[in-house]
Chain A
């Protein structure tokens, strides 16, 4: 009885070990998973977009820098122009008028 039981257990254990090993080998854990082509395309597209974004940001930065330089120049020109206009206004003579005894060339009346 005891020998029979031992044999039976041994056979069952051997079967279990066999099937577990078979399942482990069938799962091919050493093989790399095959990549989904759509995911690969998406990843590639993401990388391309990131590169484009970096390029666009560079262009924007360059243009902003150029704009700021041009703005400074323009502001300086406007300031010079306003200073000139102010100087002209300050040096312009006041309206010159006096009462005379001459026949008028024209007359002014209520507008």
Chain B
């Protein structure tokens, strides 16, 4: 079993590849690592020169890369499918909450935060993307899920593999025991897992605990009894969207593990 770890997309990436050690496997892992870097340069809102940052500044682009077009399409389809619970237009709300730079650089405390605006539409025509005036996109979660799916496809050419990007995880071939909570391990032989929660990326503003999971209806970090939701789905992008929707209270039809604020853990969707 080959294992490689590195940082990308603001999190720790872990690649597991079940293949004989050698040049071929090393090249596959190198390509996987390079693909994360390439997609981060497209989808990151923290890089000034990323495609997404340029789109958010200009409000439009006529030569978007296929990856940016695809992820924006996926994000807006997800918004429609979840009735707006998953919403890529929360950019300004996340920034208003204080998450205006990479998480490592976000001050632990600060003055009270205002609610941010959400909503707005996008028009996509081929390689052209036009945002409604005042709309900016945050593709953080779904972008990472997309990257995990892409990299997993790349690695699967060489052998059974697992790609884990700080909670967004996909496997191809083989069977992979994945720890999802204290004492709970899921064996995944196909598909993906994503976890959304407020237990890791949190900070304080005006004494209130803030986190990155914005409720689009309020424009503020979501409040509720759930601490963390883990969802299993066909793809990491699906799992990511469903996990966010479940965290915000949606009843989804997928295997899932819900952890409450008091530590209570519930298995649902066919898990037992």
Contact = CB atoms under 8 A, between A and B. Distances in A.
Given A105-B162, A106-B162, A108-B178, A99 B191 contact: no
B57 interface: no
A108 B176 CA distance: 12
Nearest to A109: B167
B201 A102 contact: no
Interface in A70-111: 92-111
Given A100-B186, A110-B197, A110-B228, A95 B234 contact: yes
Contact of B192 (A95, A101, A104, A109): A95
Contacts, number: 102
B253 to A, nearest CB: 11
A92 B234 contact: yes
Nearest to B271: A99
Interface residues of A, number: 20
Given A111-B166, A111-B168, A95 B232 contact: yes
Among A93, A103, A111, the most chain B Cβ lie within 10 Å of the Cβ of A111
Interface of A is mostly: loop
Contacts of A108: 164, 167-169, 178-180, 193-195, 230
Nearest to A98: B187
Contacts of A104: 177-179, 185
B187 A111 contact: no
Interface string B225-247: 00010101110000010000000
Interface string B150-184: 00000000000010111111000000111110001
B188 A96 contact: yes
A109 B232 contact: no
B191 A111 contact: no
Nearest to B176: A105
Given A96-B190, A107-B180, A101 B255 contact: no
Interface in A51-69: none
Given A110-B199, A111-B167, A93 B176 contact: no
Contact of B177 (A92, A95, A103, A111): A103
Nearest to B188: A97
A10 to B, nearest CB: 96
A57 to B, nearest CB: 30
A110 B195 contact: yes
B272 interface: yes
Contacts of B191: 94-97
Contacts of B272: 99
A111 B179 CA distance: 14
Given A110-B198, A110-B200, A111-B141, A99 B166 contact: no
Contact of A97 (B162, B166, B168, B271): B271
Interface of B: 1, 11, 14, 16, 141, 144, 162, 164-169, 176-180, 184-201, 228, 230, 232-234, 240, 255, 267, 271-272
Interface of A: 92-111
Given A106-B179, A110-B201, 17 more contacts: A95-B192, A95-B255, A96-B190, A96-B191, A98-B187, A100-B177, A103-B177, A104-B178, A105-B1, A105-B162, A106-B16, A107-B180, A108-B164, A109-B195, A109-B199, A111-B166, A111-B194
8 contacts: A95-B232, A99-B184, A104-B177, A105-B1, A107-B178, A108-B168, A108-B178, A109-B197
